[in-house]
Amino acid sequence: MRHVLSVASECVPLVKTGGLADVVGALPAALAPQGWRLRTLLPGYPAVMRKLGRKARTVREESDLMGGPARLLSARAAGLELLVLDAPHLYEREGAIYLGPDGRDWPDNPERFAALSWMAATIAAEGADSWRPEVLHLHDWQAAFAPVFLRDMGAAGSVGSLLTVHNIAFHGIAPASRLAELRLPAWGFHAGGFEYYGKINALKAGLVYADRLSTVSPTYARELMRPEFGMGLEGVLRSRGADLVGILNGIDETAWDPQTDPQISNFASPKRKRPNRKALLAEFGLADTGGPLAVVISRLTHQKGLDVLLEALPAFIARGGQLALLGSGDSELETAWLLAEEAMPQVAVRIGYDESLSHRMMAGGDAVIVPSRFEPCGLTQLYGLRYGAIPVVSLTGGLADTVIPANDAALTAGVATGLQFHPVERDALAGALAQLCDLYADRRTWNRMQRRAMAHPVGWAASAPRYAALYESIAPA
């Protein structure tokens, strides 16, 4: 077996805020059949430490790591091989892992994740637990300083480095005055390095200094080089275009399997979705109008386009549609959706997140709506395909790559699996929802599309070999 250290700020089932955690948690099992053994390095948040148990072993100690003592622990938990950075002064905080009680980023987030990157580089350079990786697989800005530290340690040639961009909207910005506190070398602080408008940019550090770059869908890889998607880093990405590849995410087909899912009434065909649909209507207090029951499971943010869905919603409801929403995020959007629930009996809202409920919503929903302004890959539409909840998605990123739109040609050829719309505006989304209602009324066409959706490949079978080939290309000979 070949060896990879996967470095991330979250990982299912230990700690999760979004799709990044799902991918990080799924990669070890997906890559093992390809001959690559992954160990995952995580911060020692309370939720992670509680799940390690007594078998965790200390394999390295630091007397002062970004302001306090730290230990590197080795353990197995939740079926994963883990290395955990136990640094109480950085991670021993209950609640959200990135945000303080005031809802804002922790002021020391730069130190918290520079420490994670530094430990990743140290493991690569010196080894840990009698083990050294051949490849560092770094995820998003929280791990992106590692290639800089590797170079500063003189160890860049001893290990290959891959940075995967899951969402380029988050950069990890810090003032230039914290250069020394973050253990960053002055040689990298310039326009061609990790300097960004006079500040330190963690994501840019990884984009510049990692051996190879990847992102989570082919379309998003192309989009990132355009100003409307690149978030100020499109020039850096264009300069490294030859080193950037888009590889679609997959889902855990064991955890998300409608035939064995313990959260639902199991089913293998669209007809057997009916008990779940009936149960979901009852759970959300909705009366069956005879139209499609759409679900939304999402963070409530501008990126996700749920303000546009609010604008398009009345026309959908007028056509007999119903909607159940589960999510949390911006307080203004939360309030707006609660007001919509009050105004429209066909709309039900749950503020928060509930993993079990999300499974029941996919199983009971006729459609899942994902109206994102940008979406690197998206997993929600993949869960929808797997459970026969027809995706209604914007034409962007991984949504464009995973859903075959129900246009005339696709319907005639019998390949359509969902609906797409563009641009992310009220009238375009309202048109897609009107088409949803029309398709739902044509039961023969609808049932065929559901069956095709449920048969569509959504796992790692195609993507895992591409990651393995990428690892092979950057591992030292």
Dump pLDDT digits (tens) for 227-257. Answer: 999 999 999 999 999 999 999 999 999 999 9
Q: What is the pLDDT of residues 348-400, one digit of tens each?
A: 999 998 999 999 999 999 999 999 999 999 999 999 999 999 999 999 999 99
Measured CA to CA, the distance from residue 441 to residue 81 in angstroms comes to 49
Report helix, strand and coil shares of the chain as percent, to nearest 5.
40, 20, 35
- Round the CA-based radius of gyration of the chain to a whole number and report it: 23
What's the predicted TM-score (pTM) here? Answer: 0.94
Specify the pLDDT at position 364: 98
Q: Tens digits of per-residue pLDDT, 55-67?
A: 899 999 999 999 9
Task: Spell out the residues 6+ positions from residue 154 whose beta carbon is closer than 8 angstroms to its own.
Answer: 125
Instruction: State percent of the chain over pLDDT 90.
Output: 96
Report residue 103's pLDDT band, with 50, 70 and 90 as the boundaries. Answer: confident
pLDDT computed for residue 55 by the predictor: 82
CA 128, 132, 133, 138 torsion-angle sign: positive
- 2-250+461-474: CATH class: alpha beta
Q: What is the pLDDT of residue 134?
A: 98
What span, in angstroms and rounded, lies between the C-alpha atoms of 58 and 271?
53
Statement: residue 408 has pLDDT above 90: yes
Per-residue pLDDT, 46: 96
Q: Stretch 37-60: mean pLDDT, rounded?
A: 94
Amino acid at position 347, single letter: V
> Residue 47 CA to chain centroid, in angstroms?
19
pLDDT tier for residue 271 given thresholds of 50, 70 and 90: confident
Selected residue with higher pLDDT from 401 and 78: 401
Average pLDDT over residues 123-144: 97
Place of tokens 């070398």: 185
Which tokens sit at 365? 């929903």
So where are the chain's domains? 2-250+461-474, 270-455
**Long-range contacts of the stretch 25-28 (C-beta < 8 A, 24+):** 25/78, 25/80, 25/252, 26/250, 26/251, 26/252, 26/460, 27/137, 27/467, 28/80, 28/81
Tokens of 156: 């860049």
| Mean pLDDT along residues 456-465 | 96
Backbone angles phi, psi at 212, to 5 degrees: -135, 160
Is 16 within any annotated ligand binding site? Answer: yes
Is the pLDDT assigned to residue 110 strictly greater than 90? yes
pLDDT tens for 151-192 read: 999 999 999 999 999 999 999 999 999 999 999 999 999 999
Q: Which CATH class is domain 270-455?
A: alpha beta
Is it the case that residue 129 has pLDDT exceeding 90?
Answer: no
| 439 touches 367 (CB < 8 A) | no
| Average pLDDT score, the chain | 97
Please report which confidence band the pLDDT of residue 306 belongs to, taking 50, 70 and 90 as the band edges: very high
Question: What's the whole-number mean pLDDT along residues 309-322?
Answer: 98
State the DSSP H helix or E strand holding residue 347, giving kind and residue range, or none if neither.
strand 347-351
Q: What's the CA gap between 109 and 95, in Å, rounded?
A: 15
